[in-house]
Structure 1
Amino acid sequence: MKPKIFIDGEHGTTGLQIRALLAERGDLEIISIPVERRKETAARAEFLNAADIAILCLPDDAAKESVSLITNATTKVIDASTAHRVAEGWEYGFAELDKEQAKKIATAKRVANPGCWPQGPIATLRPLITAGLLPASSPIAVNGITGYSGGGRPMIEDYVAKGEDAPEFLPYGLTLQHKHVPELKAYAKLSHDPIMQPAVGNFAQGMITVVPLQLGALDRVPTGAELHAAIADHFAAITGGVVEVAPYAHLERVPDIDPEVYNGTNRMKVYVFANDSRAQALLLAVYDNLGKGASGAAVQNMDLMLGL
């Protein structure tokens, strides 16, 4: 019997992407609430409890409600909202977090899909803190750019309506209350809240995250090669991972550092650049905010949970 997959919120941005990714999968049965019953809580409960895996593509409060509607001991959940990312009893759905994480996801009943913005910084910072090259107390700031699909349907409609008049580069999160800060702090192993300064670009999807590092105040200043080696060793130890580490090089520009280069995929590529004489470094990650940053990660986690 094929596993039954229910996408609660299948008509939102992430839900539609997941449906597209699963469209050709003959090994799964996608179950959907009939249109006429879509607003019924009883219908949601029925389908949630009928599923082998329920993928929640909902606002936080609605995601919490969906979890409360599951009354059986068999339905597994992948929550794409922010609601459970640092909650007790939920496994974090970044399979490349460390070499044991994919196994933890595979055996979990509840998995919190990562946010798009934290994954790149977590991928580059966590290996350095684990290796002892960067203190957990380091003051960290994250910046970067994402496609406007990261803002959900309202932002998509706004950008499409404005066309060429839409902002090419629009900083946001200027209250320094970005919703992904707790997640980034927890899984990068930081002891202090980082600053997140995201921006939206006038393109649909894809993203780049950047973490600049001032290393001169450290008791022992690591070289760029040492930073790169720690990150490369981290991902080399992970079987079946989809994160690639670019070769370490001193380059002024890299054409592949394009926010849209991995669109439609679940891939991520990380880079380390450094100026050892200045004791400074940059940690970059390139990936699709709707791929590795949302729907692609959800499908990756679903496959792990189903043993596929």
Structure 2
Amino acid sequence: MAAKIFIDGEAGTTGLQIRERLAGRRDLEVLSIAADKRKDQDERKRLLNAADVAILCLPDDAAKESVSLIDNDTTRVIDASTAYRVDPNWAYGFAEMDKGQSDKIAKARFVSNPGCYPQGPIITVRPLIDAGILPASFPITVNAISGYTGGGKSMIGEYEAAGASASKVMPYGLTFQHKHVAEMVKYSTLDHAPLFVPAVGDYAQGMVTFVPLQLHQLDKVPTGREIHAAIADHLAGIKDSFVTLAPYEEIAKTPELDPQTYNNTNAMKLHVFANDARAQVLLVAVYDNLGKGASGAAVQNLNLMLGVSAKDSVAA
């Protein structure tokens, strides 16, 4: 019997992309709410309780309301908002984060889809702390750029209306209180909040995160190759991973750092650049803010929860 899936908020950017990724899946029955009933609480409640898995693509408060409307003990939930991302009662939906994370997601009733920005820093920093290369107290800086679709309908409208006059690169979050910082701290296993500077670019989707490391203060300074090896060891223990690591190379530039390289996929590629003489390393992750950063991750989590092989699905 086909699993019943209800996307609460299917008209939004993430919801639309999830629906597109599920189109043609014979193992699923996607329940849909009529356009004129999207704000009808009774109809939403009916569909939420009829679903085997509900995927919430809503603002935080609306997502919490949807969870409260589920009055059975069978509907499973994937929430794409920030409402439950650091809630210990919810499984964090970043399957490649740790060796056992995909199993936790598969068994969970409640899964919080990760934010787009945190995934790059988490998957590059956490393995280094786990390996003892970096202490959890190490000061971390995260710089990142995302396509304007990461800002939702309002930002999409602003950029498309601005046309040629739109800002090519616009840093923001300059009070350093971005809502994704809590995820970075918890799941990177850091003792302190990183200094996070996000930026939006004048393109629709795709992102790059940068974590520069000044390593001279460490008692034992790792080489770039040692850092690369630690990340490679971490990824080697992850089954059905969509995250890959580029070969270690001493190069001045590469076209693979174009933020749009993996658009419309669930792929993420990591890079390690280093100058050992200066004890400096740069950790880079390239992925799609609407793919691995949102809808692709949601479908990957859905497949895990349903026991479907992600590699044989349309998650990519």
The 4+ residue runs of structure 1 with deviation greater than 6 A are none
Structure 1 equivalent of residue 65 of structure 2: 65
Q: Is residue 2:39 matched to residue 1:39?
A: yes
Q: Tell me the CA shift for residue 216 of structure 1.
A: 0.3
Q: Tell me the CA shift for residue 36 of structure 1.
A: 2.7
Structure 2 equivalent of residue 179 of structure 1: 179
Q: Is residue 2:234 matched to residue 1:234?
A: yes
Structure 2 equivalent of residue 155 of structure 1: 155
After superposition, the C-alpha distances for 1:150-196 in whole angstroms (9 at most, x for unaligned) are: 00000001101111110000000011110000011000000001111
Structure 2 equivalent of residue 245 of structure 1: 245
CA distance in 2, matches of 1:294, 1:211: 21
Q: Tell me the CA shift for residue 54 of structure 1.
A: 0.3
CA distance in 2, matches of 1:14, 1:240: 23
CA distance in 2, matches of 1:3, 1:258: 37
Structure 2 equivalent of residue 131 of structure 1: 131
Please tell me the residue identity of whatever aligns with 2:257. Answer: I
Please tell me the residue identity of whatever aligns with 2:287. Answer: Y
Q: Is residue 2:120 matched to residue 1:113?
A: no
Instruction: State the SS of the aligned residue for 1:106.
Output: helix
Q: Tell me the CA shift for residue 88 of structure 1.
A: 2.1
Structure 2 equivalent of residue 279 of structure 1: 279
Q: Is residue 2:260 matched to residue 1:254?
A: no
Structure 2 equivalent of residue 9 of structure 1: 9
CA distance in 1, matches of 2:222, 2:19: 45
After superposition, the C-alpha distances for 1:17-76 in whole angstroms (9 at most, x for unaligned) are: 101111121211000112232211111111000000000000000001111111101000
TM-score, normalised relative to structure 1: 0.99
After superposition, the C-alpha distances for 1:84-122 in whole angstroms (9 at most, x for unaligned) are: 000121000000011111011000000000000000000
Please tell me the residue identity of whatever aligns with 2:208. Answer: I
Q: Is residue 2:312 matched to residue 1:296?
A: no
Task: In structure 1, list runs of 5 or more residues that go unmatched.
Answer: none
Instruction: State the SS of the aligned residue for 2:248.
Output: coil
Please tell me the residue identity of whatever aligns with 2:226. Answer: E
Structure 2 equivalent of residue 30 of structure 1: 30
CA distance in 2, matches of 1:41, 1:99: 39
After superposition, the C-alpha distances for 1:237-262 in whole angstroms (9 at most, x for unaligned) are: 11111100000010000111110010
Measured on the aligned residues, the alpha-carbon RMSD in Å equals: 0.6
Please tell me the residue identity of whatever aligns with 2:253. Answer: R
Instruction: State the SS of the aligned residue for 1:198.
Output: strand
CA distance in 1, matches of 2:120, 2:146: 12
Instruction: State the SS of the aligned residue for 1:64.
Output: helix
Structure 1 equivalent of residue 311 of structure 2: none
CA distance in 2, matches of 1:78, 1:274: 38
Between the aligned residues of both structures, percent identity stands at: 65
Q: Is residue 2:133 matched to residue 1:96?
A: no
Instruction: State the SS of the aligned residue for 1:241.
Output: coil
Aligned length: 308
Please tell me the residue identity of whatever aligns with 1:189. Answer: T
CA distance in 2, matches of 1:279, 1:36: 59
CA distance in 2, matches of 1:27, 1:306: 10
Q: Is residue 2:21 matched to residue 1:21?
A: yes
CA distance in 1, matches of 2:245, 2:38: 43
Q: Tell me the CA shift for residue 219 of structure 1.
A: 1.0
CA distance in 2, matches of 1:130, 1:36: 50
CA distance in 2, matches of 1:297, 1:89: 19
Please tell me the residue identity of whatever aligns with 1:188. Answer: S
CA distance in 1, matches of 2:38, 2:89: 29
Please tell me the residue identity of whatever aligns with 1:289. Answer: N
Task: In structure 2, list runs of 5 or more residues that go unmatched.
Answer: 309-316
CA distance in 1, matches of 2:226, 2:241: 22
CA distance in 1, matches of 2:218, 2:124: 18
CA distance in 1, matches of 2:229, 2:137: 21
Please tell me the residue identity of whatever aligns with 1:22. Answer: L
CA distance in 1, matches of 2:157, 2:196: 25
CA distance in 2, matches of 1:305, 1:79: 13
* Worse-matched range after superposition: 270-279 or 28-37: 28-37
Instruction: State the SS of the aligned residue for 2:65.
Output: helix
TM-score, normalised relative to structure 2: 0.97
